């Protein structure tokens, strides 16, 4: 049935080239073929990301005035053209752009919704490395997502909670805003003295002058834009190195400190436990940002340093930590595959409970499976949530985890955990798709698993016969 559906789509698409050819002759073929597209091709967020280049590195210099809520930014992107480019887009929503240069030459630019359209003075040949510098400022505002949650630069009473999944990176820096494009990052963030700015990776240094403190952070491993943070607040800071040589930096809002302390204490043991199950921890830095941001309503697995809107419980810490493997190291190529992040991180919670005196994963599965056919859990299939408004619902989290549990039952524990480790090893620092995961599971188990995944990931309604 899936096969015929695909064929029918191709039949429809066959008429498209004719329409495109008509457009080309109208616009001039050269103009169309050397223009980077305004999106990365993700139907859930058509304008997210851009075509025609890859960003290798972001160097972000930011200054945030916590009282006036004004952000001053300079972004230097080191990129490589994947095609000849007479024009390309960056994603940036709100804020005022004062200049754009490509190389050393001023480029012309215009704004069009969330697109910052850049026309360099000279066309960039395919394969050329180039630097884009964008100067900008303004009052950043979060973006409202299709599910009505907010993400991006979210002001708090003492700074900002900065979490970009799925769309919000573009609210505070010009980006190729899709997880398909991963990059290293440098951050230089200046905030009023007494406030702390926390980003990803390693703290290179901090210095105070004229009533302001500048924090320099560096993330060297590839990172999707949505996983970048520059969270600002009044934080108590704790630093230490684990026996495995991972540098931990925790920043905690004092209002959350008492509740957070016993949970944060477990971070090294949680990472060690996850390393045994999922393979070596993918980064050299770790930690947590525990903010006090009562309006946010979620946590985010910001790379190396998850961000919590309040003191997390242990299960949430386990979840965000598991994302360091599933989502951060191994990233999505399309938002439709979100279960590869959320189903896996949720299953990590079940496994943690099972191995630490809580209910078995089977018991957790059974309790969910007992829910009636009309329950929200069965509202849509996790492998095909349908649109960007369904990314963070229980079908993705819980039924996604149930899918993994079914896989585990089908192949046995030994093979199941070998599959998980083979997955993280094969895609470390890169990307993975659902189809690749299914193929890997079949390879490692020697079993046909298409039926299982078809039922649990793609079939509407409550699966029968579990
Ligand atoms: N990935 C986050 C988690 O750990 C959820 C992010 C939700 N984002 C949002 N805009 N609602 O589950
Ligand atoms: Zn999650």
In the chain, DSSP finds a helix count (H) and a strand count (E) of: 13, 20
Cis-peptide into 166, omega within 30 deg: yes
Residue closest via CA to ligand 1's atom 1 equals: 300
pTM of the model: 0.93
Measured CA distances, 98 to 68, 82, 168, 306 (Å): 20, 27, 21, 32
Q: Which ligand is nearest to the CA of 391?
A: 1
Q: Which atom of ligand 1 is nearest to the CA of 323?
A: 4
Tokens of 96: 């005022």
Q: Which ligand is nearest to the CA of 392?
A: 1
Is the distance from CB of 191 to CB of 66 less than 8 angstroms?
yes
Tokens of 114: 């969330």
Tokens of 462: 């409550």
CA–CA separation, 346 and 352 (whole Å): 10
Q: Tell me the per-residue pLDDT of 127-139, one tens digit each, with 9 for 90 and over.
A: 999 999 999 999 9
CB of residue 299 inside a 6 A radius of ligand 1: yes
CB of residue 145 inside a 6 A radius of ligand 1: yes
Tokens of 279: 């393979």
What lies within 8 Å, CB to CB, of 12 at 6+ separation is none
CB of residue 117 inside a 6 A radius of ligand 1: no
pLDDT for res 111: 98
34 pLDDT band (50/70/90 cuts)? very high
Q: Tell me the per-residue pLDDT of 396-448, one tens digit each, with 9 for 90 and over.
A: 999 999 999 999 999 999 999 999 999 999 999 999 999 999 999 999 999 99
Dist. CA 126 → ligand 1 center (Å)? 36
Q: What is the ipTM of this complex?
A: 0.98
Mean pLDDT, all residues of the chain: 94
Q: Tell me the per-residue pLDDT of 203-228, one tens digit each, with 9 for 90 and over.
A: 999 999 999 999 999 999 999 999 99
Dist. CA 322 → ligand 2 center (Å)? 8
Listed residues: CB within 5 A of ion ligand 2: 342, 345
What lies within 8 Å, CB to CB, of 288 at 6+ separation is 250, 251, 252, 260, 264, 267, 305, 306, 307, 308, 312, 317
């Amino acid at each position: 049935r899936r096969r015929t559906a695909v064929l029918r789509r191709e039949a429809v698409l066959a008429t498209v080239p004719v329409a495109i050819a008509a457009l080309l002759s109208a616009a001039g073929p050269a103009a169309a073929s050397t223009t980077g597209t305004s999106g990365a091709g993700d139907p859930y967020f058509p304008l997210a990301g851009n075509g025609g280049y890859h960003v290798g590195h972001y160097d972000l210099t930011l200054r945030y005035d916590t009282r006036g809520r004004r952000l001053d930014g300079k972004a230097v992107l080191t990129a490589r053209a994947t095609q000849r480019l007479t024009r390309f887009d960056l994603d940036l929503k709100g804020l005022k752009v004062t200049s754009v240069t490509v190389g050393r030459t001023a480029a012309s630019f215009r704004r069009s919704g969330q697109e910052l359209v850049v026309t360099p003075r000279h066309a960039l040949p395919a394969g050329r490395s180039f630097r884009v510098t964008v100067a900008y400022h303004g009052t950043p505002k979060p973006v409202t997502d299709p599910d009505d949650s907010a993400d991006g630069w979210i002001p708090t009473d003492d700074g900002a909670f900065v979490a970009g999944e799925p769309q919000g990176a573009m609210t505070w820096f010009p980006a190729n805003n899709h997880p398909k494009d991963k990059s290293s990052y440098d951050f230089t963030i200046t905030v009023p003295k007494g406030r702390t700015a926390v980003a990803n990776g390693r703290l290179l240094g901090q210095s105070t002058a004229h009533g302001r403190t500048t924090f320099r952070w560096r993330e060297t491993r590839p990172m999707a834009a949505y996983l970048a943070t520059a969270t600002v607040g009044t934080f108590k800071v704790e630093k230490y190195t684990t026996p495995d040589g991972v540098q931990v930096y925790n920043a905690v809002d004092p209002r959350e400190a008492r509740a957070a302390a016993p949970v944060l204490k477990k971070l090294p043991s949680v990472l060690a436990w996850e390393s045994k199950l999922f393979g070596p921890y993918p980064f050299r830095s770790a930690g947590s940002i525990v903010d006090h941001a009562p309006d946010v309503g979620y946590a985010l697995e910001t790379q190396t340093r998850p961000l919590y809107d309040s003191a997390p419980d242990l299960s949430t810490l386990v979840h965000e930590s598991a994302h360091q493997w599933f989502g951060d190291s191994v990233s999505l190529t399309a938002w439709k595959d979100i279960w590869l992040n959320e189903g896996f991180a949720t299953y990590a919670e079940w496994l943690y409970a099972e191995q630490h005196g809580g209910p078995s994963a089977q018991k957790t599965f059974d309790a969910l499976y007992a829910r009636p056919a009309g329950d929200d859990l069965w509202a849509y299939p996790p492998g095909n949530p349908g649109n960007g408004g369904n990314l963070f619902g229980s079908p993705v989290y819980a039924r996604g985890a149930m899918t993994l549990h079914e896989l585990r039952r089908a192949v046995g524990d030994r093979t199941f955990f070998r599959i998980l480790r083979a997955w993280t090893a094969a895609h470390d620092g890169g990307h993975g798709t659902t189809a690749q995961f299914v193929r890997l599971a079949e390879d490692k188990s020697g079993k046909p698993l298409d039926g299982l995944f078809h039922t649990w990931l793609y079939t509407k309604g409550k699966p029968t016969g579990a």
